[in-house]
Amino acid sequence: MPHQDPRPKSTRVGRNAMTIAAAGIFVRVSGLAREIVFAGVFGAGMATDAYNAAFRAAQFFRELLAEG
């Protein structure tokens, strides 16, 4: 017999929503940190622009074809 959570369903939904929101915030902050480190290490230049363009193009096609 499966274990049932004694908390109301609305409490569990709210807690799960907060977990997803926290994960989304973490992803945004870690992405910002990645951009800051990348800019600090490589600076501005043609090679950095080419990398960013290639990364954005690959990301676009992944979102378009794989994520819908």
The per-residue pLDDT for range 9-24, each reduced to its tens digit, is 767 888 999 999 999 9
pTM for the whole structure:
0.59
Q: Are 32 and 39 in contact (CB under 8 A)?
A: no
Question: How far, in Å, CA of 30 to CA of 47, rounded?
Answer: 23
**Confidence (pLDDT) at 18:** 94
Q: DSSP assignment of 9-61, as one string?
A: HHHHHHHHHHHHHHHHHHHHHHHHHHHHHHHHHH-SSHHHHHHHHHHHHHHHH
In the chain, what are the domain boundaries?
9-67
